[in-house]
Structure 1
């Protein structure tokens, strides 16, 4: 008997708004153009309701073609006190003029650029343990001082 894997689907799970600080551009390092953006707050709503805590950051690497490798790490706290550690890895790409407009904080239609991430969540809160047992991906929007995304559980 040959077993066939089930086809994965996407289940909208929670929405995130991350408030970000100014871009700190470290210039060209040995790995590329390094940028760091502080995470100063935000919220998660949906199947999780939590406040994003200040203190995280997004460590970006800008490739020669302008594509940005995303490496974000931040924490959130639920109203019951449960802590969630969130790791985000992804890619933002588009035409050079579109990426420059985003960097200037201009409103850009999300269909004009590609911004997708995968998320890993860690927690010791028993009521949130199910978050550690799934994969999540997100479709993201960059605004002047926020990043917004909807996270989808891969079924």
Structure 2
């Protein structure tokens, strides 16, 4: 197997909300304010308020997350992007991430498997491929890089 770079997303996030679900984890919720994406053969904007990120953070610093939102290509195609992933870090790093502080991306693990639903035509390859990704958080948003498994 090989990996081929597919795209990068730069996302601006809205207010972060945290729901203390049980003693051992907290559910986060944050809507997408705006963003852009680009890669070989596609680029565009993330549709504002079309979805968000919903992480589940355990007390030990580990957790998983789900996200869903819409992408609009520069030529007007709309693509649904869904993703699941894992993030783990030492508890002090998680606390800084949850507080919206800058954190060195090498201090935590953030990997995901996105799925795309694209219309027929030039973006159909997104429907027929498996992708893996890596992410990093910053105080106002996230950056995700995705690779196609070939």
3-state SS of 1:22 partner = coil
Q: Which moved more, 1:101-110 or 1:130-139?
A: 101-110
Cα-to-partner distance string for 1:64-118 (whole Å, 9 max, x where unaligned): 3221211000001012110010001101110011111112222211111001111
Structure with greater Cα Rg? 1
Alignment counterpart, residue 56 of structure 2, candidates 61, 75, 78: 61
Q: Which runs of 5+ in 2 are unaligned?
A: none
1:10 aligns to 2:3 (yes or no): yes
TM (normalized to structure 1)? Answer: 0.89
Alignment counterpart, residue 42 of structure 1, candidates 32, 35, 47: 35
Q: Distance in 2 between matches of 1:113 and 1:96?
A: 10
CA contact (8 A) 2:59 2:91 kept: no
TM (normalized to structure 2)? Answer: 0.92
Q: What RMSD over aligned residues (CA atoms) do the two structures have, in Å?
A: 1.6
Q: Distance in 1 between matches of 2:91 and 2:73?
A: 39
3-state SS of 2:37 partner = strand
Question: What number of residue pairs does the alignment pair up?
Answer: 148
CA contact (8 A) 2:13 2:32 kept: yes
